[in-house]
Amino acid sequence: MIDFRSDTVTKPSQEMREAMINAPVGDDVFVEDPTVNELEQFSAELFGMEAAIYCSSGTQTNQIAINVHVQPGGEIITNEDSHIYKYEGGGISKNSGASVRLIRGNRGRLTLSDVEQWINPDDVHFPVTQLVSLEDTSNRGGGAIYDFEEIKKISTFCRKNNLPLHLDGARLMNAMVENGIDLKEYASQFDSISLCLSKGLGAPVGSVLIGKKDFIKKSRRVRKVFGGGMRQAGIIAAGGLYALKNNVERLKIDHLHAKALESTLNELTWVKEVIPVETNIVVAVLKDESQRDVILEKLAQKDIKIMAFGPGMLRFVTHLDIIENDIHATIEVLKKL
Ligand SMILES: *Cc1c(COP(=O)(O)O)cnc(C)c1O
């Protein structure tokens, strides 16, 4: 089976499994798991930030960050397509009692003028704007990468206005291998960064939340409250550490594979357009909306799994368990569909 549904479907390689089996462990709630501690330190240093905390999922790291940054009744500025709003089960209101200012934008991204326009004035009528959250790359935006100049402008504005800036960097490494920006310079624009280890990086479980010491200390408390305090978590953290050390540069291969799918899809008569591919996500818009499920079914019969991505839209995600031959095979099937 060739599984393009998501880059979360990757399975740990033999080498990663060995790193996991051999990982020294301890009780992480006591901060005594050497492998978790190493992963946290490695992540923080990689981004030139003070500290990090290992959590069970990207939803958890985002929700913890929101909970630490925002008070009940406060408001978060984010894109209407952002994962924190759309795909975290209403956690912003449920976990943190916050409201959201949703911005319509270009492929899941915000601009400085969005933030300038929607930060609320100091007036009792309005919720207090307490956080700006960006997503890089943007999932709903078809893997779109932020313009770093725009991030710097947003960051400067946020700092002037004492507004924390969070990054949902679930697929941040996909952006970083493409734009070649220095990780530390990039990270210095943000107050907190969530990074998924279980997407294209190929670890079985987990995300890290990175930030200042004080922020991570508060996050550790919230993680416990959310039921996310884990014990001998070094077993799974070892997979994440292995992923960060070995699987970053190879993301470029996934991007080449995505580009190959894009070119083929662009030639097909039944495809209206393909959202220009920037990283590992390919979104095709169909000419005839009603054909979506037919195509999904036909591909499934050929053992190719992809995902519906809204009305008349299909999504392919490339990842480390998809090899070049899978791409060739898929291209042949698509051409004959
Ligand atoms: C996958 C993803 C997350 C986190 O998802 P989990 O499944 O909870 O790890 C967060 N943000 C974005 C943009 C994602 O794609």
CA atoms of 169 and 199, how far apart (whole Å): 11
Using left for φ > 0, alpha for ψ between -120 and 50, and beta otherwise, residue 202 falls in left
Decide: 166 and 131 in contact? Cβ < 8 Å: yes
DSSP state letters, 112-158: HHHHHHHSPPS-TTSPPEEEEEEESSBTTTTSBPPPHHHHHHHHHHH
> Tell me, what's the pLDDT at 114?
97
Question: Between 14-21 and 234-246, two packed helices, what is the crossing angle to 10 degrees?
Answer: 140
Q: Is 168 in the pocket of ligand 1 (CB under 6 A)?
A: yes
What lies within 8 Å, CB to CB, of 330 at 6+ separation is 2, 4, 261, 304
Hey, which bits of 266-320 come out as E strands?
271-274, 281-286, 304-305, 307-308, 313-317
Tokens coding 11:
């399975």
195 alpha carbon – ligand 1 mean position (Å): 9
> Tell me, what's the pLDDT at 215?
98
> Which of 87, 107, 133, 193 to mutate to test ligand 1, by most ligand atoms within 8 A of the CB atom?
87
Q: Is 254 in the pocket of ligand 1 (CB under 6 A)?
A: no
Identify the H or E element spanning 193. Answer: strand 192-196
List the pLDDT tens digit at each of the 337 positions of the chain.
999 999 999 999 999 999 999 999 999 999 999 999 999 999 999 999 999 999 999 999 999 999 999 999 999 999 999 999 999 999 999 999 999 999 999 999 999 999 999 999 999 999 999 999 999 999 999 999 999 999 999 999 999 999 999 999 999 999 999 999 999 999 999 999 999 999 999 999 999 999 999 999 999 999 999 999 999 999 999 999 999 999 999 999 999 999 999 999 999 999 999 999 999 999 999 999 999 999 999 999 999 999 999 999 999 999 999 999 999 999 999 999 9
83 alpha carbon – ligand 1 mean position (Å): 7
pTM of the model: 0.97
Q: Is 59 in the pocket of ligand 1 (CB under 6 A)?
A: yes
Q: Is 58 in the pocket of ligand 1 (CB under 6 A)?
A: yes
> Tell me, what's the pLDDT at 51?
98
Q: Is 23 in the pocket of ligand 1 (CB under 6 A)?
A: no
Scan for tokens 């209101």, then name that residue: 93
Decide: 197 and 207 in contact? Cβ < 8 Å: yes
> Tell me, what's the pLDDT at 332?
97
CA atoms of 104 and 80, how far apart (whole Å): 6
Return the residue whose CA atom lies nearest to atom 5 of ligand 1.
58
> Tell me, what's the pLDDT at 72?
98
The DSSP bridge pattern shows strands 2-3 and 304-305 to be: parallel
CA atoms of 149 and 155, how far apart (whole Å): 10
CA atoms of 217 and 209, how far apart (whole Å): 11
Closest-lying ligand 1 atom to the alpha carbon of residue 82: 13
Return the residue whose CA atom lies nearest to atom 6 of ligand 1.
58
